[in-house]
Structure 1
Amino acid sequence: MSQLLPYETIVKASEGDPEAVAAVLSHYAGYIRYHSMMGSHINVEVQEHIVQRLIESLFKFRFDR
C-alpha cells in the first residue's frame, strides 16, 4: 500500500456511498487477505469478519471533531 486513499473517498465511504466503500475495501484487499491466512489458505470466515468490521468502522468514523 504505497498510496493513501483520497480524503474525499473516506468521507464518502463514511456517508455510505457504495462506490467509496468498495474503493476502501479494494484498497485494503491485500491487507485483509494477508491477515485472513491460516497456514497457506485463506479463512473465508475471518476474511468476512474483517470486512464487516471495516465497514462498521467506516460508518462510525466522524470528521467533525
Structure 2
Amino acid sequence: MDGPGENDPDLVPASHPRFCEAIKTDAAAYTALFTRTFQNKTFHVYRVKKKRKKGAKNSSEPGATQ
C-alpha cells in the first residue's frame, strides 16, 4: 500500500513493476508493445503498437514478387 500507515500483513511486493515506472525506464518488454505519442511535464501518453500480419507482404518490400 502506498502512503502513510501500516500495511496489511498479507500484502507482498509485486512481481512486476508498475506500468508508469517501467515504461519510463524503456524496459524492453514494454517498449516492444507501446510507443510514446506525447510527453510533457505532466503527461506521458503511449499508444499500443499494432501487430503486423505475417501473411500480408507489401510489394515494395525487397524480395517480393508480383
TM-score bucket of the superposed structures, by smaller chain: under 0.3
Q: Which has the higher contact order (CA 8 A, sep 6+)?
A: 1
Return the structure number with greater helix share: 1
Larger Rg: 2
Q: Could you tell me the TM-score, scaled by structure 1's length?
A: 0.23
